[in-house]
């Protein structure tokens, strides 16, 4: 291949460009009508009551931790196999991050590992769990909900990889990732390599009206001008006019622009087709690598994998990574375990703490996965991988 094949790539159409151009010609660039329209359409797609658009997925995580009351001394559990923001959001609020190991069959946070961690501490020691739908594989949030209720914990679902993903619980009920039926809050990302590209951008979903209203205030500095939310006038205060607003708590400017919302909403109109294409690409990889020295994760019946990433595991990961680069195939590694990052090692985490996560990291490689990947490009990737491993 003459042109590099990246592991992920956005797909921008003429309709997307027109949607953004319309905003540029209009009166609003920042807080305009496209934001509310995007929020409503996204909530309908996910199947939740409320959606709050924000600047990016990390901002979404940060605001969720604030709304859930994370502060100095709050202890939260998450997975080491994720982007660091899933843990950093707790640190932004002064909380303490605890990790639990992954399930080697799914690469997801292992509920048994979380249960074991909880058993080592008194009830009330931890406040919440941040499970991650890694690579697009949905976490069994029903099982985590039961565990969380047993220990009085909240759940924040990091669904950045999984819009459109779903799992079936033990009662046969299907739950879409982030639909608000099991976690207090869920978050999504609109980074260019994600299912919906808005340049940057994120979304928080919930079924909790109080959390929803709190998040709306937090994303705009902690300011409100809504009459029903304002404090009572103090004695001698001048008459309030239409200009009046209040800074009620310390928030952030984590707003999405109208331009980004228009792009995201345009992309949302074809998200089902892009989702189906990702699953087609995954099926071709599955068939090609079955019964070989290449380890793959194939979800069972009842799981709708969103396939943000397609991850294989091989013994000589570094060798394969370098070999693919000589073939213009830009495979990537997701992720270096968060507990091994220098920042988190200062808190006592060290190699050997989570053997499943570390074993996964030593062997994992993400192959190209995006809706516009052509069949010819995918065949070239498959042939190159097989050539290296001798499959």
pLDDT digits (tens, 9 = 90+) for 245-288: 999 999 999 999 999 999 999 999 999 999 999 999 999 999 99
Per the structure, how many domains does the chain have? 2
- What pLDDT is recorded for position 121? 98
Are 231 and 338 members of one domain?
no
Residue 86, C-beta contacts closer than 8 angstroms, at least 6 positions apart: 61, 78, 79, 130, 132, 158, 338
Q: How far apart are CA 135 and CA 255, in angstroms?
A: 26
> Is 226 one of the catalytic residues?
no
Beta-bridge partners for 50: 206
Are 277 and 242 members of one domain?
no
Cα distance between the two ends of the chain: 21
Beta-bridge partners for 177: none
Task: Judge if pTM exceeds 0.95.
Answer: yes
Are 215 and 344 members of one domain?
no
Q: Is the pLDDT of residue 14 over 80?
A: yes
Are 195 and 215 members of one domain?
yes
Q: In which domain, by residue range, is 335 found?
A: 271-389
Q: How far apart are CA 293 and CA 338, in angstroms?
A: 27
Q: How far apart are CA 351 and CA 336, in angstroms?
A: 12
Are 72 and 205 members of one domain?
yes
pLDDT band at 236 (very low <50, low <70, confident <90, very high): confident
Q: Which of 211, 238, 268 marks a domain boundary?
A: 268
pLDDT band at 234 (very low <50, low <70, confident <90, very high): confident
Average pLDDT over residues 169-189: 96
Are 110 and 227 members of one domain?
yes
Q: Is the pLDDT of residue 152 over 90?
A: yes
Q: Which of 233, 268, 303 marks a domain boundary?
A: 268
User: Of 246, 239, 201, nearest to 225 (Cα)?
Assistant: 246
CATH code of the domain in which 310 resides: 3.90.1150.10
Are 343 and 318 members of one domain?
yes
Instruction: Calculate the CA dihedral of residues 188, 192, 197, 202 and round it to 10 degrees.
Output: 30
Are 263 and 287 members of one domain?
no
Are 139 and 174 members of one domain?
yes
Are 154 and 195 members of one domain?
yes
Average pLDDT over residues 161-187: 97
Q: Is the pLDDT of residue 390 over 90?
A: no
Catalytic residue from among 194, 213, 226, 350: 194
Q: Is 112 exposed, middle or buried (0-12, 13-18, 19+ CB in 10 A)?
A: exposed
CATH code of the domain in which 166 resides: 3.40.640.10
User: Of 96, 60, 91, nearest to 76 (Cα)?
Assistant: 96
Are 253 and 278 members of one domain?
no
Average pLDDT over residues 125-131: 98
Q: Which of 253, 268, 283 marks a domain boundary?
A: 268
Are 248 and 356 members of one domain?
no
């Amino acid at each position: 291949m003459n042109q590099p094949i990246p592991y992920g790539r956005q797909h921008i159409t003429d309709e997307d460009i027109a949607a953004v151009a319309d905003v540029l010609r209009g009166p609003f660039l920042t807080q305009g009508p496209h934001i509310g329209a995007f929020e409503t359409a996204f909530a309908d797609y996910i199947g939740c009551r409320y959606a709050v658009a924000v600047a990016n997925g990390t901002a979404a995580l940060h605001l969720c931790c604030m709304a859930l009351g994370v502060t100095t001394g709050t202890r939260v559990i998450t997975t080491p196999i994720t982007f660091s923001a899933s843990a950093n959001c707790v640190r932004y609020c002064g909380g303490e991050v605890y990790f639990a190991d992954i399930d080697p069959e799914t690469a997801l946070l292992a509920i048994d590992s979380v249960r074991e961690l909880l058993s080592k501490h008194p009830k009330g020691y931890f406040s919440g769990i941040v499970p991650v739908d890694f690579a697009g594989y949905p976490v069994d949030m029903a099982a985590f909900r039961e565990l969380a209720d047993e220990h009085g914990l909240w759940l924040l679902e990091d669904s950045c990889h999984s819009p459109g993903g779903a799992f079936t619980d033990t009662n046969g009920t299907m739950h879409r990732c982030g639909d608000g039926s099991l976690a207090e809050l869920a978050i999504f990302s609109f980074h260019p390599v994600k299912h919906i590209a808005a340049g940057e951008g994120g979304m928080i979903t919930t079924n909790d009206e109080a959390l929803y209203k709190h998040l709306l205030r937090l994303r705009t500095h902690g300011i409100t001008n809504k009459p029903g939310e304002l404090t009572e006038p103090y004695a001698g205060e001048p008459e309030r006019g239409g200009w009046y607003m209040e800074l009620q708590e310390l928030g952030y400017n984590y707003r999405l622009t109208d331009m980004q919302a228009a792009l995201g909403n345009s992309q949302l109109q074809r998200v089902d087709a892009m989702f189906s294409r990702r699953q087609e690409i995954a099926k071709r990889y599955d068939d090609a690598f079955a019964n070989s020295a290449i380890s793959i994760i194939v979800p069972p019946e009842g799981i709708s994998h969103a396939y943000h990433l397609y991850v294989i595991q091989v013994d000589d990961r570094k060798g394969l990574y370098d070999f693919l680069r000589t073939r213009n195939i830009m495979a990537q590694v997701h992720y270096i375990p968060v507990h091994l990052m220098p920042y988190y090692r200062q808190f006592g985490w060290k190699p050997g703490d989570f053997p499943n996560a570390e074993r996964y990291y030593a062997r994992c490689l993400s192959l190209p996965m995006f809706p516009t990947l052509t069949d010819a490009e995918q065949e070239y990737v498959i042939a190159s991988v097989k050539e290296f491993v001798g499959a």
